[in-house]
A = this chain, B = another copy of it.
């Protein structure tokens, strides 16, 4: 193996520490405590786990965590009434509704109800538009995390050939916008791309987010490239019957022979997501109070 391993767990811990430092300063100097409100509708077990991790991280960073649990049969009216209340609450700087929500509720309408200035998941049309037009957007946490990893690994990204495989609203499209802002030459590839291997081989920066385990092979990687693997699939463990393991979209062992640097799965991009949720909440809080947003924690 030749590639440097990008340790997302360690880097995310550093980001969380930096956020905590800024939170402590906001309390000391301005008597402000950033607050994140999380809405959970119903009792999806995976969502319970995610919400728990977010709560722990929020509290560990010195922020206030507000949890709102609604029953699975909550009406849109009741959900929106809660969102309206949180939008108006000056102690709440970030609001997220844990998805999926029960089927009778609509994710798009729910996101649209959240004040864009508090939309720390960066999912609203307003924030997508701000990102697309160079404004002060709240950016979705996973692409923001990838950007931070890339800046940390490479420094200046200007002029690099970047290829993003996948074009979701949640990841691929905002990731492409972020790389374009950094002056990369950016290609978005996807399932309809004709020679995907050849397109990937052009990349100085290759970001894979397709959700298909091991799809990006070693010979798709340009020697020396930086590879960011956003995929995460649970599959049967090949060596340990009855056990499972998490794998990414990139065939890690093969790619690591060729790449200059690569994120592992798990322990690469994953830990950055919550770190960026905290960074977004901090940024939203600073903006709400007319204070400068700390450097290096936003797009």
**Chain A: residues with CB nearer than 8 A to chain B?**
124-135, 158-159, 161, 167, 169, 173, 176-177, 180, 183, 185-190, 192-194, 199
Q: How many copies does the complex hold?
A: 2
Main secondary structure of the interface of A (DSSP, over half): mixed
Residues of B within 8 A of A134 (CB): 169
A293 to B190, CA, bound (A): 29
A169 touches B133 (CB 8 A): yes
Identify which of A129, A135, A177, A187 gathers the most chain B CB atoms within 10 Å of its CB. Answer: A129
Residues in B neighbouring A173, C-beta threshold 8 A: 132-133, 177, 180
Whole-angstrom distance between the alpha carbons of A185 and B159 in the complex?
19
Contact A192 B126 (CB under 8 A): no
Residue of B nearest to A182 (CB): B192
Q: How far is the CA of A185 from the CA of B192 in the complex (A)?
A: 8
* Smallest Cβ-Cβ distance to A199: which chain B residue: B185
Write the chain B residue with the least CB distance to A192. B183
**Shortest Cβ gap from A240 to chain B (Å):** 39
Known: A125-B126, A180-B188, A183-B192. 12 other contacts (CB 8 A): A125-B133, A125-B135, A126-B126, A126-B129, A127-B129, A128-B129, A129-B130, A132-B132, A132-B177, A159-B192, A185-B194, A187-B187
Complex: A158 Cα to B186 Cα, angstroms: 19
**Interface-central residue, A128, A133, A159, A177, by most chain B CB under 10 Å:** A133
For A135, the closest partner residue in chain B by CB is: B125
A183 partner residues in chain B, CB cutoff 8 A: 190, 192
A161 to B126, CA, bound (A): 29
7 pairs, CB–CB < 8 Å, chain A vs chain B: A125-B133, A128-B129, A129-B132, A134-B169, A158-B192, A183-B192, A186-B187
Q: How many angstroms from the CA of A183 to the CA of B189 in the assembled complex?
A: 9
- A42–B186 Cα distance when bound, in Å, is 40
Determine if B185 and A186 form an interchain contact, defined as CB atoms under 8 angstroms apart.
Answer: no
Q: Nearest Cβ in chain B — how far from A140, in angstroms?
A: 11
For the complex of A and B, 6 pairs with smallest distance between CB atoms: A129-B129, A125-B129, A128-B129, A183-B192, A187-B187, A128-B132
With A130-B125, A180-B167 already in contact, the answer to whether A185 and B185 are too (CB < 8 A) is no
